[in-house]
């Protein structure tokens, strides 16, 4: 197998968990507010992996790969990071007017093969792969996992700089601004895979508070040929959006890719 670069490696199993089924553990970050004003606004963020959305009952999300982009494209420092038994937390200060994007993103390699009649499994970095996995192993299967979990917040008037595509992995590009969502009104988004429209992908939308509902009340929509999908919000509150793609064409010879995306969005009354 040829050598290849992998950017922003994240080996945490929490971020690599399945995205998009009602029964799966979901990775999420929830900000204390998504629309702010005032002279010195801050946002506190909870991050976890859980069965019930926006409740802490399974694992804290690891924050390796955390990046916060300011309205001018610069990076913001996360402060007061901590990891507890069920959640991770951090704060950041909104010193500029406009829209911010906070993401935990990354990828990792996993492999399986047979050796001496036994099944072997491995997970790690590209460098470790070259040392630890036999290149001529029997029934060798290698998977590149990519995950992005994010949210958007705006101080004052929104802007669009942080909404531009990164052209790496599976990502959502808002057509409707993510901090201008209103219950009962349609919102449109575009799903991209490495910068190209991700057509025919199932997207799951789940409102928060499912712990106290008999039904999940999720919506399932599918992207069009242009990668665009539309959501009509059933009501206000925090919503989770998730999608995943299993792609045999990862761009790396002999490697299959599993790419996942999740976002937390607030819908206003």
The 10s digit of each residue's pLDDT in 251-266 is 666 788 899 999 999 9
Asked whether residue 253 is assigned to any structural domain, the reply reads yes
Predicted confidence (pLDDT) at residue 59 exceeds the cutoff of 50: yes
Residue 244 lies in a domain: yes
CA–CA separation, 40 and 21 (whole Å): 39
Q: Is residue 178 part of a domain?
A: yes
Is residue 158 within 8 Å of residue 177, measured between CB atoms? yes
For residue 100, what are the domain limits?
26-105+149-267
Q: Is 237 buried (19+), middle (13-18) or exposed (0-12) by CB count in 10 A?
A: middle
Of these ranges, 5-9, 13-17, 248-252, 254-258, the one predicted with the greatest mean pLDDT is 254-258
Give 170's Cβ-side CA count (13 Å radius). Answer: 30
Concatenated DSSP letters of the chain:
-------SB---TTTTS--S-TTS-EEEEEES-SEE-SSS-EEEEEEEEESSTT--SSEEPP-TTEEEE-TTS-EE--EEEEE-SS-EEEEEE--SSEEEEEEEEEEEEEEEEEETTEEEEEEE-HHHHHHHS-TT-EEEEEEEEEEEEEEEEEESS--SGGGS---SSEEEEESS-TT--BTTSEEEEEEEETTEE-TT-EEEEEES-GGG-SS---EEEE--TTSEEEEE-SSSEEEEEEEEEEES--SSTTEEEEEEEEEEEEEB-
61 lies in some domain: yes
In sequence order, which residues have a C-beta less than 8 Å from that of residue 78 and are 6 or more positions away? 63, 66, 68, 90, 91, 92
Instruction: Give per-residue pLDDT as tens, 159-210.
Output: 999 999 999 899 999 999 999 999 999 999 999 999 999 999 999 999 987 7
pLDDT above 80 (res 10): no
Quick check: is 96 in a domain? yes
Please state the φ and ψ torsions of residue 126, each to the nearest 5 degrees.
-60, -45
Q: What does the pLDDT read at residue 135?
A: 78
Contact 164, 177 (CB under 8 A): no
**pTM of the entire predicted model:** 0.85
The pLDDT of residue 195 is 94
pLDDT in tens, 208-231: 877 777 677 789 999 999 999 999
- Contact criterion met (CB below 8 Å) for 247 and 143: no
Which residues, 6+ apart, have CB-to-CB distance to 127 below 8 Å?
none
Distance CA 128, CA 124 (A): 6
> How many whole angstroms separate alpha carbon 109 and alpha carbon 126?
7
Q: Identify whether 237 is part of a domain.
A: yes
Q: Which residue has the tokens 């420092």?
A: 77
20: confidence class by pLDDT, cuts 50, 70, 90? very low
Tell me the two tokens of residue 198. Answer: 């991700």
Whether 118 maps to a domain, the answer reads no
* Residue 73 within a domain: yes
Number of domains in the chain: 1
pLDDT for 24: 65
Mean pLDDT is highest, among 20-34, 70-84, 104-118, for: 70-84
> Pseudo-torsion of CA 261, 262, 263, 269, nearest 10°?
120
């Amino acid at each position: 197998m040829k050598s290849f670069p992998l950017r922003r490696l994240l080996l945490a199993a929490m971020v690599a968990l399945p995205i998009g089924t009602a029964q799966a553990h979901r990775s999420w970050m929830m900000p204390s507010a998504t629309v702010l004003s005032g002279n010195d606004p801050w946002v506190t963020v909870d991050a976890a992996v859980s069965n019930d959305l926006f409740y802490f009952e399974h694992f804290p999300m690891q924050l390796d790969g955390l990046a916060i982009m300011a309205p001018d494209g610069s990076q913001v420092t996360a402060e007061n990071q901590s990891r507890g038994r069920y959640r991770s937390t951090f704060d950041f200060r909104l010193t500029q007017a406009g829209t911010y994007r906070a993401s935990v993103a990354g990828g990792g390699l996993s492999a399986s093969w047979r050796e001496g009649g036994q099944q072997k499994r491995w997970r790690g970095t590209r460098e470790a792969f070259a040392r630890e996995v036999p290149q001529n192993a029997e029934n060798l299967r290698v998977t590149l996992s990519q995950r992005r979990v994010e949210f958007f917040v705006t101080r004052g008037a929104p802007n669009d700089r942080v909404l531009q595509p990164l052209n790496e992995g599976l990502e959502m590009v808002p057509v409707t601004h993510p901090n201008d969502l209103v219950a009962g009104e349609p919102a449109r988004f575009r799903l991209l895979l490495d910068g190209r429209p991700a057509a025919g992908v199932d997207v799951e939308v789940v409102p928060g508070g499912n712990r106290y509902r008999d039904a999940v009340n999720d919506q399932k929509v599918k992207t069009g040929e242009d990668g665009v999908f539309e959501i009509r919000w059933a009501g206000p509150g925090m919503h989770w959006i998730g999608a995943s793609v299993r792609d045999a064409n990862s761009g790396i010879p002999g490697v299959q890719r599993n790419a996942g995306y999740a976002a937390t969005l607030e819908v206003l009354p």
